[in-house]
Every structure is written in structure tokens, then in C-alpha cells.
Amino acid sequence: MMVVLMLIGVLICNQGAVVSYKTFSTVSDGNQRVAPIFMAFWTGMLGSLITITSVIINRSYNPSMVTLIAALVGGLGFAAAGILSIKVMATGPFIWSVLMMSLASFLPVLYAPVFLGELISLPQIVGVLLILTILLIMNIKQKDDSRPFTPQWMVLAVIGMLVNGSVLCAQKTQSHFTNGGELLELLSLMFLSASFFAGMYFLLTPGTKKKIPFRTFLSPAFGLVGSIGFYNVFSMTLMGQISAAVQFPIIVGGGIVLSACISVLLYKEHTGWRLYLSAILLTAGVILLGY
């Protein structure tokens, strides 16, 4: 029963995160001047909270060099992916934006055999091919698209997906060399470095000295702190109780279904056979990646 409740919690937190991104992208209209401050604010807050939690739980805070490097690389990717995601959600349909972010899950499966010497199985290869097929399906035109995406949106979404995948690869590297240890240290340093890189991007970008409308991002920023904070707590707890082959397909598949419902009920977007087929392929692909 507890496992079921935690899975529900993960799904709710996941949707809370994507809705917070969408809310900010709507009120800011994808404004690239405000986006880095939004990222710096909420990632810095969450990173600080996780740091304090790690010190309380472990009574020490001494991350290894591997964790530090992985956190810096992951933080850079997370900041870039977040800023890109805001632009993607502001210029394209909500459900397809969420689906594109979910596609990043296949990248570590390709990365690990090439750079970490891990083996890749035939089911995993088939899973990757199924996931990549979604990119082709997305480009098939469908009648009555309520908010069709443009080639520019597609390019931004693919870049955002690849950058988001780099974060997962950095986490995979850290887990490989530390045998899954120092997870709290990795998360705290990754969010703190994401805050630093987002802040530096803001300071170094021309035209960023204008007044920032803080009311624009306070509500979604706190929403993200709570959503992603509890998401990590539930996910970490679940890792010790059920296998990844069960956990991640449920999270990905259930997340896509909930996002589809939100896109129709809240954002009045039209769904069609492309979305249904893509959701099935993504879920099947993630299941195969677990083997």
C-alpha cells in the first residue's frame, strides 16, 4: 500500500513540476530575460534545502571529486534545459512539450555502453528505436491540430531534450563510479550549480539589467521547489523497494496520461492518434530500457 501511495505521490509531483514550468512560460511568454532568474531562484532554494537535509541525515557533507564534477556538468545542463523548456512550452503545445522532455530517458542507455563500458541488451536497443520513432510520428501532419508546432519549436524541443539527457548521463556517471552513493550530495550540488550557471547567464546576457517582475515567477518557483523536492524523496524511497523496470515505466506512462488529461481539460489542446501512439511507444520503450 505504501509503495502505491508513493507512486501516486511521484506522479502528482511530476505533474506539479511540468504545470509550474507551463505556468511560468505563460505568464512570462517565454521571456528569456526573466527565465534565468526564475531558474536561479528555485534551483538555489532547492539546492540549499537538500544540502541542509544531507547534513542532518549523514551528519557530514564530504562529496567526492566524481560527485562534484558530475554535479557541475549536470547543473550546467539542468540550467540550460530549464531555460529551453520554458521557451518550448511558451511556443508549443503543452502535451508535446512534456513528451519531448520524457524522451531524454533513452540517452543514458546509449551513453553507458560507449563511455562507461556497460553492456546494452537487445531489448534496450529495441526500446531506443521505439522511442526514436516518436520523433518521426510527431512530424506527421494531423487534421484539426489545435496548436500545431513549428519547425523552430521542433528544433528547440530536440535541443532541450538532448541537453536534459546530458543531465541524466552525468548522474549515470556519478552513480557508476560511486556505486549509487552520495545521492543527496549530488542533487544538492547539481541544483546549486544550476542556480550559479543560470545567474551567470543572466548577468552576462546583454539587456538583462531591466527590472524583473518577481511576481511573475514566485508562485511557479515555489511550486517547483515543492514538486521536485518531494519527487526526489519519493523516487529515492521507491528505488529501494521496487525495480527500475517497474518504477520508471509507471512514472513515464502514467505521467503522459495525466499530462494528456491536463492538456485537454486545462489548456484546451486537441489530442489525436499521434499522441496516443507516441505515448504507447514511449511506455513500451521505457519498459524495454529496464532490461
| pLDDT score for 144 | 60
pLDDT of 189 > 80? The answer is: yes
Greater confidence, 187 or 139? 187
- Kindly state the average pLDDT of the residues 91-116: 87
Would you state the cell numbers that stand for residue 36, as one nine-digit string? 534565468
pLDDT of the residue at 198: 95
Out of 17-31, 38-52, 65-79, 187-201, pick the least confident: 17-31
- What is the pLDDT confidence band of residue 40, given thresholds at 50, 70 and 90? very high
Calculate mean pLDDT across residues 53-63.
88
Residue 163 has pLDDT above 90, yes or no: yes
Between CA 12 and CA 139 the distance in angstroms is: 30
- Report the pLDDT value the prediction gives residue 78, as an integer from 0 to 100: 96
Q: Is the pLDDT of residue 51 over 80?
A: yes
Confidence class for position 243, pLDDT limits 50, 70, 90: low
Mean pLDDT across the stretch 84-96?
A: 88
CA distances (Å), origin 79, targets 30, 254, 268: 15, 26, 29
Is the pLDDT confidence value at 30 over 70?
no
Residues 197/75, Cβ–Cβ less than 8 Å: yes
Task: Name the average pLDDT for the chain.
Answer: 86
Q: Is the pLDDT of residue 22 over 60?
A: yes
Q: CA 289, 94, 6: angle at the middle one, nearest 5?
A: 50
In 10 A of CB 51, how many CB atoms?
A: 18
If pLDDT is split at 50, 70 and 90, which confidence band does 20 have? very high
Mean pLDDT, rounded, for 257-270: 84
Counting every residue written for the chain, the total comes to 291
pLDDT(33) > 80 = no
What are the residues whose beta carbons fall under 8 Å from the beta carbon of 94, sequence distance 6 or more? 18, 22, 259, 262, 263, 267, 269
Average pLDDT over residues 47-59: 91
- Min mean pLDDT across 2-16, 17-31, 40-54 is at 17-31
Among 94-98, 108-112, 146-150, where is mean pLDDT lowest? Answer: 146-150
pTM of the shown model: 0.89
Residue 52 confidence (pLDDT): 93
Confidence at residue 119, expressed as pLDDT on a 0 to 100 scale: 85
Q: Among candidates 266, 216, 220, 223, which has minimal Cα distance to 31?
A: 216
Helix axes 35-58, 2-28, angle to 10 degrees: 150
